[in-house]
Chains A and B, each alone.
Chain A
Amino acid sequence: MGVVFALVTGVLFGLGVFQLLRRDLIKSAMGFYILFTAINLFLLAVGAFDGEVAPYVEPTTVNTLAEAVPGGTPSDPLVQALILTAIVISFGSYALLLGMLNVIGKRNKSLNADDLNALKG
């Protein structure tokens, strides 16, 4: 399945970049969100092994992987922990981005990226 994940990552990335380039700033913000999603999927795809069972271990002292998870190959817990962090941070950034858009809209009376020229030299 990793191959499919990789392909979908590429597709989502392309869609996200396209969305990012819209003039509508709210759509641009959504573009960011799509990119976050794409990256989470990518992280999932590069896990160390294709899992069959969830990464829950036996409540005993063990020495090998087979003893720790007797039910089959577990999915990679490390990438999952990383995705957890990534999801939280991306939500925080997303909320901040939307807050900024709120202020931008108020100040400039527009949410069209081409109407904003505060960066003009």
Chain B
Amino acid sequence: MLLLIGLPAALAGLMLLPGGRSSALKYVPAALCAVLFAAFAGYLPAIEAAPITETVAWVPGLGLDLVVYADGLALLFALLITGVGAVVSVYAAAYFEEDDERGRFLTLLMAFMAAMLGVVLAGNVLMLFCAWELTSITSFFLIGFKGDKYEDARRSALRALVVTGAGGLALLAGLVLMGTAAGSYTLSEVLATDLSAHPWYAAITVLVLIGAFTKSAQVPFHFWLPGAMSAPSPASAYLHAATMVKAGVYLLLRMYPTLGNTDLWTTLVLGVGLITFVWGAYAANRQRDMKGLLAYTTVSALGSLVALAGLPDSLGIKGALLGILAHGAYKAALFLITGAVEHATGTRDLDKLGGLRHAMPGAFIVALISALSMAGLPPLLGFISKDLLLEASFPEPLGTVLPFLGAFVGSALMVSAALTVVWDAFIKPAPVKSHDHSHANDDHGDHLHTVPLLSAAPGVLAAFTLLIPLVGLPLLQPLTNAALGRSSTLYLFPPHPEPLIVSIAALLVGVVLMRFRASWAGSSAQPVTISGKRAKAARRSIGFPTASGVYDRLIGGVDRTGDIALKLQSGRIRYYLVIILGALSLLIMYLAPGIGTVDALANARVQLNSSSDILKLALLGLVVAGTFTSIIVRNHLVAVLALGVAGYALGGVFLLEPAPDVALVQIVVETLATVVLMLMLARMDTVDKTLRTNAQRTVWDSTVIGRWRDAAISIVIGVAIGLLALTVVVQRPERTADEPISVWHLVNTYPQIKVTDAVGAIVTDFRGTDTLLEIAVFSVAALGVFMLLRDPAPDKSDPMGTVEIQQVTLKHDSTLENPLTVFIARLVMVFALMIAFSHWLYGGGQPGDGFTAGVIAGLAVALNYVVRGYARTRRALPWVKPRRFLMGGLILALGNAVIYAPLLGRPFLGVVDFGDAPAGLHLSSTLVFELAIALTVFGAVTLILDTISNPGTEESEG
């Protein structure tokens, strides 16, 4: 069943491929929907017996599984989604004329369908949330489908996303609370828990309800749905009538066993539902845009469904289930017909339409059946659901008359709205055309651009509406039984006459209302899609804050705040740093009493145990002095050298620690860093000599205040970090008290890895993944340098390309190149490679490892660049192909890490011992890993060097 959810997503992915949108494949999505529909229908007998659960582990650490939980309710929705999906896909294939548009639409539609199936079949509440958000996002793209042409579409899409997204966040909070309260995120376990007595019950309920209400467009969050009508008609039919907006209703029905049937639930859900029902139906009557009218009736119908879900003791569940099916069928059909009408006439303004029953007889019949179903006329499916609504709201068991009143008024208004659509579009005589306002396609009836399929596809839905109540109720029976979890007979005419009488009364009132619609409803000045001044004027005329007005003001406020914040940006990066670090130092001073417990610091004393400690002190002094010098001198080269001194001194400290491996790396990297910095400075000079000299001049240019401010910030941060470090050091636990992991490392180094260097063992095995990532990051950095500097030609697309970049030519001091220096460079190359080999092979028992091997070999190449210049070095060392080394090393590292898993059942990066070899060697997978590190590092180092010293006249690598 998980596969069934995945199929439309996979199809959406395939359609992104070139050729996936060709018109030859336009009916593939529809076929897939039909197949899925049949597959889901096939599950019905099994689900009738017991819900189906399938589990695939996803993120076990978070308790996240991909769980499918399919009971009757889920199956009912799955059938609705795939069934209406098939109709809409056929329709859309004919509706869009351009291949590209159609392909894009169908891709989004399939993606949405996968998400929607995910919502209803999710067996884990977090998975449900993920799918829920995916429907919001795909809906955003579909509403904004014409966003490249119309601003309205963009705004409506954003508004829908903001409202449903905010609701989604509330839902997430609610679901997390619920999962915590129920002790499980698995849906079947949550459903088995009744949380109505839990202390968090109110919070959970309100949060979940906000999620459901925003999705299902309930007052006061309803305003996004009419705006969503800027989506193409098939999307409106599918998402904003049949499926997505029902997700909220689904959630309510789903959570009913856990959260429902309490006073809070009934009050909120029933209240909001009824208000939405009546308000939506009233607003629909004010609309003259055919889609707008339908949108408000959708809001209204959703209100009735929500109200049914709010009734206590599961009274309304059956009505809600039938209502979902009935509404899905008739409303999708009406939207599709609207699309056909718009397609044919170029307008959907009811004042401009009329008389279409002659031009589009098929569409007329479909629209008539569907609208009468919406009105609740027997013997249509809508009649059954409306009957159940009225019956369920009867005051006797509820003890209040309000639900009944609401249901009655709403039903009557709905009748009026339904009749208005059919009357105005199809029956009333066509208005006289005023050519000033006529649209491009707005032509006389006999020239209408009609496509038969656009009426035929919704015809399937109309047939469903008509035939199910007459002959198909036995077919529907098992489905509703499974969804209800109990057996309840469906009937066309209720056994008691009371609901029927009320229903007919509502119908008659509705007809009267429709007849005099103009006198009580008028026409809403507010257009469906909000656009600037008109919307503002409409708001003013209403005179009280509407939900969409509040939303507009909120978004406008965010925009304005953003503008103000943007004005604060000086764009000077140094001031940002000053502000950030200054704020940090102020915070530190405020918190200062809490940092570094005085008692603990009293234990701090400096013990000089041996002569090496005194040497360390001296070297640390040198570190500080070198660093300090690098700050006060102006000349960059001097500063670089001073930093180099500090770095080497630190290497000495490492050596005395004693940490010979670190010392070695520190010294080779320090050398490399110094070389790279020098080369970089030289490269900058080749562009413009004044760049650096001008920059150097600024060192002591700042004002006295500025200098003291910087010094103060530095001192505060330095003192704080020093205190932090001191606290950590002083409060370090005694070794005997709690054995540190290092002891385990030391004890297991030889038995497990068969090397004697504990640091090497940690790097290559115990924390081998770190190292794998480290060389990957290092490679990315090297490639970054390469990308930044490789192409000295002026970049046409350069966004800041006001400056024409000059040809970079690195000057080669030809005096450096003479037979002696070339000989030395060659000799060094040979020795360096030998040292590198020994570091690689014997790294397990002595300082040095693959990393130092790579850097040392790279340094020898650097010497060649310095001595012989770029072009000659490239010719002399043709085997130095940095990117190939880099790639080869990474592939080897990764391959070595994974290859033993299938062969020997070893874990990722697990060590494999190949036994001893001559010359004191010990062969193992670690050695391969070290080689991979060496190759990668050599590749990265030479790539950096190669890029910097490339004068830019020739390709760097053959």
* Selected contact of B742 from candidates A30, A41, A76, A102, CB within 8 Å: A76
Flag if A54 contacts B659 (CB, 8 Å). yes
Chain A nearest CB from B201 CB (Å) reads: 47
The distance in angstroms between the C-alpha atoms of A6 and B698, with both chains bound, is 32
> Provided the pairs A75-B659, A84-B763, A121-B569 are in contact, do residues A48 and B740 lie with their beta carbons within 8 angstroms?
yes
B801: nearest residue on chain A (CB-CB)?
Answer: A107
User: Chain B 563-591, CB within 8 Å of chain A: the 1/0 string?
Assistant: 00111111111101110010000000000
The distance in angstroms between the C-alpha atoms of A5 and B604, with both chains bound, is 12
> Provided the pairs A80-B661, A113-B574 are in contact, do residues A5 and B851 lie with their beta carbons within 8 angstroms?
no
Q: Is B741 an interface residue (CB 8 A)?
A: yes
Flag if B658 contacts A75 (CB, 8 Å). yes
User: Chain A 8-39, CB within 8 Å of chain B: the 1/0 string?
Assistant: 11111111111111111111001001100110
> Is chain A's interface secondary structure helix, strand, loop, or mixed overall?
helix
Q: Is B747 an interface residue (CB 8 A)?
A: yes
> Provided the pairs A21-B581, A26-B636 are in contact, do residues A85 and B627 lie with their beta carbons within 8 angstroms?
no
> Provided the pairs A77-B759, A93-B781 are in contact, do residues A14 and B714 lie with their beta carbons within 8 angstroms?
yes
User: Chain B 588-632, CB within 8 Å of chain A: the 1/0 string?
Assistant: 000000000000000011111000010011001001100110110
**B-contacting residues, A34-68, CB 8 Å:** 34, 37-38, 40-42, 44-49, 51-65, 67-68
Task: Please indicate the chain A residues that have their CB under 8 angstroms from the CB of B623 in the complex.
Answer: 8, 12, 37, 41
* Selected contact of B698 from candidates A23, A40, A41, A63, CB within 8 Å: A23
> Provided the pairs A30-B643, A46-B728, A74-B758 are in contact, do residues A96 and B745 lie with their beta carbons within 8 angstroms?
no
**A-contacting residues, B648-698, CB 8 Å:** 650, 653-654, 657-662, 665-666, 669, 672-673, 676-677, 680-681, 683-684, 687-688, 691-692, 694-696, 698
* Selected contact of B851 from candidates A61, A64, A84, CB within 8 Å: A84
Task: Please indicate the chain A residues that have their CB under 8 angstroms from the CB of B757 in the complex.
Answer: 55-56
* Selected contact of B722 from candidates A6, A85, A96, A102, CB within 8 Å: A6
Q: Is B746 an interface residue (CB 8 A)?
A: yes
The distance in angstroms between the C-alpha atoms of A102 and B810, with both chains bound, is 13
Chain B nearest CB from A91 CB (Å) reads: 5
Task: Please indicate the chain B residues that have their CB under 8 angstroms from the CB of A64 in the complex.
Answer: 747
B767: nearest residue on chain A (CB-CB)?
Answer: A81
The distance in angstroms between the C-alpha atoms of A47 and B623, with both chains bound, is 20
* Selected contact of A53 from candidates B574, B658, B669, B948, CB within 8 Å: B658
Q: Is B800 an interface residue (CB 8 A)?
A: yes
Flag if B606 contacts A4 (CB, 8 Å). yes
Task: Please indicate the chain A residues that have their CB under 8 angstroms from the CB of B775 in the complex.
Answer: 88
Task: Please indicate the chain A residues that have their CB under 8 angstroms from the CB of B802 in the complex.
Answer: 107
Task: Please indicate the chain A residues that have their CB under 8 angstroms from the CB of B608 in the complex.
Answer: 1
* Selected contact of A18 from candidates B636, B714, B729, B774, CB within 8 Å: B714
Flag if B571 contacts A117 (CB, 8 Å). yes
Contacts A/B (CB < 8 Å), 22 sampled: A4-B620, A12-B623, A14-B721, A17-B718, A24-B699, A30-B639, A30-B640, A48-B742, A51-B659, A54-B659, A55-B659, A62-B750, A81-B770, A88-B778, A99-B947, A100-B788, A101-B684, A106-B687, A107-B801, A111-B692, A117-B570, A119-B572
User: Chain B 722-755, CB within 8 Å of chain A: the 1/0 string?
Assistant: 1101101110100100001111011101110000
Flag if A17 contacts B581 (CB, 8 Å). yes
* Selected contact of A109 from candidates B569, B691, B750, B758, CB within 8 Å: B691
Query: Interface size of A by Cβ–Cβ distance < 8 Å?
Result: 101
The distance in angstroms between the C-alpha atoms of A34 and B800, with both chains bound, is 31
**B-contacting residues, A67-120, CB 8 Å:** 67-69, 74-81, 83-85, 87-89, 91-96, 98-103, 105-114, 116-120
Flag if A3 contacts B729 (CB, 8 Å). yes
Flag if A105 contacts B688 (CB, 8 Å). yes
Chain B nearest CB from A75 CB (Å) reads: 5
Task: Please indicate the chain B residues that have their CB under 8 angstroms from the CB of A14 in the complex.
Answer: 714-715, 717-719, 721-722
User: Chain B 774-793, CB within 8 Å of chain A: the 1/0 string?
Assistant: 11011011101100110000
The distance in angstroms between the C-alpha atoms of A109 and B690, with both chains bound, is 9
> Provided the pairs A4-B617, A99-B789 are in contact, do residues A37 and B572 lie with their beta carbons within 8 angstroms?
no
Q: How large is the interface on B (under 10, 10 to 19, 20 to 34, 35 or more residues)?
A: 35 or more
**A-contacting residues, B417-434, CB 8 Å:** none
* Selected contact of B781 from candidates A6, A13, A95, CB within 8 Å: A95
Chain A nearest CB from B589 CB (Å) reads: 14
The distance in angstroms between the C-alpha atoms of A110 and B713, with both chains bound, is 26
The distance in angstroms between the C-alpha atoms of A53 and B756, with both chains bound, is 13
Task: Please indicate the chain A residues that have their CB under 8 angstroms from the CB of B52 in the complex.
Answer: none
* Selected contact of B661 from candidates A10, A20, A84, A92, CB within 8 Å: A84
A20: nearest residue on chain B (CB-CB)?
Answer: B577
The distance in angstroms between the C-alpha atoms of A41 and B729, with both chains bound, is 12
Chain B nearest CB from A103 CB (Å) reads: 5
Q: Is B805 an interface residue (CB 8 A)?
A: yes
**A-contacting residues, B472-514, CB 8 Å:** none
Task: Please indicate the chain B residues that have their CB under 8 angstroms from the CB of A38 in the complex.
Answer: 721
The distance in angstroms between the C-alpha atoms of A28 and B154, with both chains bound, is 43
Q: Is B541 an interface residue (CB 8 A)?
A: no
The distance in angstroms between the C-alpha atoms of A44 and B652, with both chains bound, is 13
Task: Please indicate the chain A residues that have their CB under 8 angstroms from the CB of B803 in the complex.
Answer: 106-109
- Besides A58-B750, A84-B661, A92-B780, 7 other A-B contacts (C-beta < 8 A): A8-B623, A14-B714, A21-B710, A83-B659, A89-B778, A106-B687, A110-B694
Chain B nearest CB from A40 CB (Å) reads: 7
Q: Is B381 an interface residue (CB 8 A)?
A: no
B714: nearest residue on chain A (CB-CB)?
Answer: A18
Chain B nearest CB from A102 CB (Å) reads: 6
Flag if A13 contacts B659 (CB, 8 Å). no
Task: Please indicate the chain A residues that have their CB under 8 angstroms from the CB of B723 in the complex.
Answer: 10
* Selected contact of A77 from candidates B606, B628, B746, B771, CB within 8 Å: B746
The distance in angstroms between the C-alpha atoms of A103 and B428, with both chains bound, is 71
* Selected contact of B695 from candidates A3, A24, A58, A68, CB within 8 Å: A24
Q: Is B284 an interface residue (CB 8 A)?
A: no
Q: Is B14 an interface residue (CB 8 A)?
A: no
Chain B nearest CB from A14 CB (Å) reads: 2
Flag if B657 contacts A91 (CB, 8 Å). no
Q: Is B87 an interface residue (CB 8 A)?
A: no
* Selected contact of B701 from candidates A5, A23, A68, A121, CB within 8 Å: A23
What are the nearest 6 A-B pairs in CB distance? A10-B722, A14-B718, A120-B571, A92-B781, A121-B566, A6-B725
> Provided the pairs A9-B725, A17-B718, A106-B687 are in contact, do residues A44 and B659 lie with their beta carbons within 8 angstroms?
yes
Task: Please indicate the chain A residues that have their CB under 8 angstroms from the CB of B660 in the complex.
Answer: 54
Task: Please indicate the chain B residues that have their CB under 8 angstroms from the CB of A109 in the complex.
Answer: 688, 691, 803
